[in-house]
Structure formats: C-alpha cells, structure tokens
Amino acid sequence: MGFLLPLPFFPIFSILACQIFDISRFMVLGRSSPPKPVSQKFSEKGARTVPVIKQNPHPESAKKAKFPIILLVASTYWITISGTCLLGLLNQLTLILTAFCQSRSLAYYLGPTDGIKSVGFSQMLIESLFAAVILFAGIQSIRGLAKGILGYGFGSLCLGLSLMLYTLFKMTSEEYSVWASNIPQHLYSARYSAWSFGLVTTGMLTLGSRDAYMAWREENHGELPNRRR
C-alpha cells in the first residue's frame, strides 16, 4: 500500500514539467511563420531582375485553422467530471462540518466508529486538489488560453492510469471482499473505473490534437487578450 502513495502526485509534476516545456518552446520559437515563396524573373540575357513575392489574390478565401473538436470534447469532459467531483466533495464537507459542530469534540470528529475518520478527510482534500487542477485545465483549454496542451494530455493520461490502478487495488483487497454485498461500493468502483477510462482516453486524444491546437493558437494569438475580458 505504501508504494501507491506517490502515484497521485505524479500527474501534477508531469503537468508542471510539460507546461514549462511548452511555454519555453513557445518563447523560443515565437510566432515565426515560414518564408513566403519567392519567384525570380530572368531577362532574355539571363540577368536576374527584382524578385516578385507571390501573394494570395483572395486572402479571405485562405484556409484558417479551426479549433480542434477533439480538444473541445476533452475539455468538456474534464470540466464535467471535475465539477461533479467538487459538488460531491462539497456535500461531504458539509456533512463533516455538521458532525463536528454537533459533537463539539475533536475526539468525536476523529473517532473510529461514530465520527469521521481523518483518513477520509485527507482523501477528500487530495481529491479536491486534483478536481481543481482538472477544472483549471479544462477551462484553459476550452477558452484557448493554454500556451500548450502537452502537460494537460500527459496529466490526464497519468491521472487516469493512477486512478485505474487504485481502483484495481481496492477491488482486489480484503476490505472490498467484505463489502462485496454492499451496493454503494460497487457504484463507487464503477464510477472510478469510468472516470479513469475517460481520463486515459481524453489524455491520448489531447496529445493527438496538440499540433492542430498550436496551429489554431498561432493564428488567433492576437485575439486572445480580448477573450480574457
């Protein structure tokens, strides 16, 4: 059980590392665009004349990069599950505060039978932290404010795999076998399994749509400050 404790923190470090990589890459490369094609005219004697730059006679008809639909779906999924998780955690926090106020005793609050266990409270804090990170990633991605989505993709993938391993560990533990007849435990396992599968899927899709997002951001970078308002 102890070797599983560092797993929940791996997605956060991967998000930070990949975001630093994306930001540094964006700062180094900047908004450089490929050089325009240049055609040179030659006279009959072979002398080179002034080069002529080809320009599109219909600039309005130029194909513009569109916001990737895959990233839109992934961002919507992140916002949905993080919002649902935060609402559930808010409900748990309300129950904990109610029990604490009624008992007026820290021993009752941390009691093993009648009160709320400190382990459950710590787990709630960790879940709220990850839910807030996922919500931030979803909002930044769907608004197009993220300078890079490499960290979001790897973070979603690693978090989904960690949650999947945690669910498998809980289902194979002796504690789960004792609760096998308890329907809520099956519902919790099904919920975590669905969340982990969705996080892994959206993480892979986000990594696949990274180039399309960077192309869209390259064209719309000048409009981003207006979108912040």
- pLDDT, tens digit, 9 for 90 and up, residues 151-207: 899 999 998 998 888 888 877 765 555 555 555 666 777 778 888 899 999 999 999
Q: What one-character DSSP code corresponds to residue 3?
A: G
Global confidence as pTM: 0.60
What pairs with residue 19 in β-bridges? none
- pLDDT, tens digit, 9 for 90 and up, residues 47-73: 555 555 555 554 544 567 788 899 999
- Give CA separation, 76 vs 105, 117, 142, 150, 181, in Å: 42, 34, 7, 17, 35
79, pLDDT greater than 90: yes
Helix axes 69-103, 210-220, angle to 10 degrees: 100
Residue labelled with tokens 């504690």: 175
229, pLDDT greater than 50: no
Lowest mean pLDDT among 3-7, 69-73, 100-104, 126-130: 3-7
Residue labelled with tokens 């748990």: 92
Residue 48 has which token pair?
Answer: 């080179």
CA-CA distance, 153 to 78, in Å (whole number)?
Answer: 11
Paired sense of beta strands 52-53 and 38-39, if any: antiparallel
Closest CA to 160 of 83, 90, 74, 89: 74
- pLDDT, tens digit, 9 for 90 and up, residues 8-46: 444 554 554 555 455 444 443 444 444 455 455 554 555
- pLDDT, tens digit, 9 for 90 and up, residues 124-156: 777 888 888 899 999 998 888 888 888 899 999
